[in-house]
Structure 1
Amino acid sequence: MNWIENVVRPKIRGLWPKREVPENLWVKCPETGEMVFHQDLEANQFVFPGSGYHQRMDAPTRLRHLMDDGAWETIPTPSVVADPLRFRDERRYTDRLKTAKAKTGREDAVVVAAGAIEAVPVVVAVQDFDFMGGSLGMAAGEAIVTGARTAVERHLPYILFAASGGARMQEGILSLMQMPRTTVAVEEVKEAGLPYVVVLTNPTTGGVTASYAMLGDVQIAEPGALIGFAGPRVIEQTIREKLPEGFQRSEYLMEHGMVDMVVHRHELRATLARLCRLLMKQPEPVRAAELEPAEPAPEQPARAEGDSETASAAA
């Protein structure tokens, strides 16, 4: 070390203070490697413009882009026992929950809200993958059931956005019991004659796929979403065969009848509103162009008396 490094360089650095740069200023596309400015990506509903890759969205962002004027009513959900089995692996389950709550600012993986989509009142449940992989536990199960009962009470369509890695292992059999509970809640919605529409996002796997995520009257999937029970690698290792290209992706599943439609995120609002109107037998909204008065027909010039006499003589 010398006096240039110890004295001169620190003084030079002090002339220009270091600027803090946000970590997520630029976002890299997982498919093409394209770098997109974060604000531009958010304005495009987190769809990469070059490849069309749909990045995951958290629950508040999803609701903000979905609901009219970005406003909604949060439906409170019942509280549950935080750690019923006192589970511990590398860390305590309670510590994992605290970390997830601090990271997302939410109590669990599912947010239930009521609002309107293109003036159609709906109840929406959004599963957030950022909260412990959107895993299904007792709290998430209670949220799904609460959303279904709220839809029945208010006589509104029930829309669910699924994104999960499956049941939450830290709650054992209690998490698996949420599969039949949520299935019964969905049946209550259908018995009330109300639509239940499911939007499958990337990824939707495990016990969620084996229960409420595949029971919709209409199954919608976002482009490129991974949808299945077990993962492709597990299936390949089990059957010892190479899987087809695009296996368990939304486009492949639509071709094979497991999904009704694949809808781009930019067209999702209009599609959901149209489906809810159709299933609820509501009229289509009157467009502004239809309200404009029709242009009056041009007045015919009045005939002179001589013209009428000439016409009569000719007849």
Structure 2
Amino acid sequence: MAWFKRTDKGIKTSTEEKKDAPDGLWYKTPNGNIIHTRELKNNSYVCPDDDYHVKIGSKEYFEILFDNNKFEELDIKMKSGDPLKFVDSKPYTSRIEQTIKKTELNDAVRAAVGKVNNFDLVIACMDFNFIGGSMGSVVGEKIARAIEYSLKHKIPFLMISKSGGARMMEAGFSLMQMAKTSAKLALLDKAGIPYISLLTDPTTGGVTASYAMLGDFNIAEPGALIGFAGPRVIRETIGKDLPKGFQSSEFVLEHGFLDFIIDRRQLKNRLTTLLKLLNN
């Protein structure tokens, strides 16, 4: 019966001395599986129990892809202006400043050049934490300049998309980025330099309608939301229920809009294989 009684050797820590576990030490997936954040990072931010791909940003993708996390970042200091003097609940400039301070990012995309398993590669990667990964003038300009760098140095280009679409605070200036980036990609195609587009969760709106779907190879992560308008808008427009799994990367692949789906843990090696094939 000693098992049911506290003895002198039992835990005697007072309530005041007890400590809570630090925030962010564990991650819980939507399916309820719990994993230590260190193990999650070592597993390319994929939960091994259910293969759930945690949403990550440019910092994590660069760590996963670039050899020894070494790269040269391009156009680091570029920040958004306020061409329309947009004011909603607060001025656009204030929101930009607060988001920069909160995320430690200058805008919703970062571009860098480095080696991936000893292959030179230019990567532009979007960050959803910066105003929903929305596409404004700076996003379009940084992607265009990254493509120009690929053209000049004859290096393949990888675009990692993660976005809610066009940035409404820049209106027409935002929509112009669709044409600008598409025109730059046409030059890349003309020069015979490979362009790989990786669509992650979510990739929607004007981003899907432009550079995200223009790759020589369009690939995606498992379970990513990919589409133009949201499911609710489409359902209300056509007045019908949508198929199960509508706009998931698996559904998009089945209907011919993707070349293949790739597990993030295999991303670096699969990209290397693809680059070898394209190089030959």
TM-score by length of 1: 0.82
1:70 maps to 69
Residue 185 of structure 1 deviates from its aligned partner by 0.9
Q: Deviations over 1:254-280 (max 9, x none)?
A: 111010000100111111111112112
Residue 48 of structure 1 deviates from its aligned partner by 1.3
Moved more, 53-62 or 194-203: 53-62
Residue 81 of structure 1 deviates from its aligned partner by 5.2
Whichever of the two has the greater Rg, that structure is 1
Q: Deviations over 1:127-172 (max 9, x none)?
A: 1111111100001011100110000111100001000000000001
Specify the code of the residue in structure 1 equivalent to 2:279: M
Is the CA contact (8 Å cut-off) linking 2:46 and 2:52 kept in structure 1? Answer: yes
User: Are positions 1:22 and 2:22 aligned together?
Assistant: yes
Q: For the residues of structure 1 that align with 2:273 and 2:63, how far apart are their CA atoms? A: 19
Q: Deviations over 1:48-92 (max 9, x none)?
A: 111111111111111011111121111126736511111111122
20 and 153 in structure 1: CA distance in 2 versus 1, 3 angstrom threshold: farther
1:6 maps to none
2:152 maps to 153
1:210 maps to 209
Between the aligned residues of both structures, percent identity stands at 42
User: Are positions 1:46 and 2:45 aligned together?
Assistant: yes
Specify the code of the residue in structure 1 equivalent to 2:181: T
Specify the code of the residue in structure 2 equivalent to 1:182: T
Is the CA contact (8 Å cut-off) linking 2:83 and 2:170 kept in structure 1? Answer: yes
Is the CA contact (8 Å cut-off) linking 1:122 and 1:158 kept in structure 2? Answer: yes
263 and 95 in structure 1: CA distance in 2 versus 1, 3 angstrom threshold: same
What's the C-alpha RMSD, in Å, of the aligned pairs? 1.5
Q: For the residues of structure 2 that align with 1:99 and 1:228, how far apart are their CA atoms? A: 29
Q: For the residues of structure 2 that align with 1:168 and 1:20, how far apart are their CA atoms? A: 40
Q: Deviations over 1:186-232 (max 9, x none)?
A: 11111111000000000000000000000000011000000000011
Is the CA contact (8 Å cut-off) linking 2:127 and 2:162 kept in structure 1? Answer: yes
96 and 160 in structure 1: CA distance in 2 versus 1, 3 angstrom threshold: same
Segments of 4+ moved more than 2 angstroms: 18-23, 77-81
Q: For the residues of structure 1 that align with 2:239 and 2:38, how far apart are their CA atoms? A: 44
* Residues 137-152 of structure 1 mapped to structure 2, 5 A cutoff: 137-152=136-151
* Residues 243-282 of structure 1 mapped to structure 2, 5 A cutoff: 243-281=242-280
Q: For the residues of structure 2 that align with 1:237 and 1:271, how far apart are their CA atoms? A: 39
Specify the code of the residue in structure 1 equivalent to 2:115: A
* Residues 95-174 of structure 1 mapped to structure 2, 5 A cutoff: 95-174=94-173
Q: For the residues of structure 2 that align with 1:20 and 1:91, how far apart are their CA atoms? A: 37
Specify the code of the residue in structure 1 equivalent to 2:257: M
Is the CA contact (8 Å cut-off) linking 2:121 and 2:156 kept in structure 1? Answer: yes
Residue 19 of structure 1 deviates from its aligned partner by 4.1
Q: For the residues of structure 1 that align with 2:142 and 2:49, how far apart are their CA atoms? A: 36
| Gap runs ≥5 in structure 2 | 1-13
TM-score by length of 2: 0.91
Is the CA contact (8 Å cut-off) linking 1:161 and 1:199 kept in structure 2? Answer: yes
Q: Deviations over 1:7-35 (max 9, x none)?
A: xxxxx76x62x7464322221111x1112
Q: For the residues of structure 2 that align with 1:199 and 1:236, how far apart are their CA atoms? A: 27
| Secondary structure at 1:177 match in 2 | helix
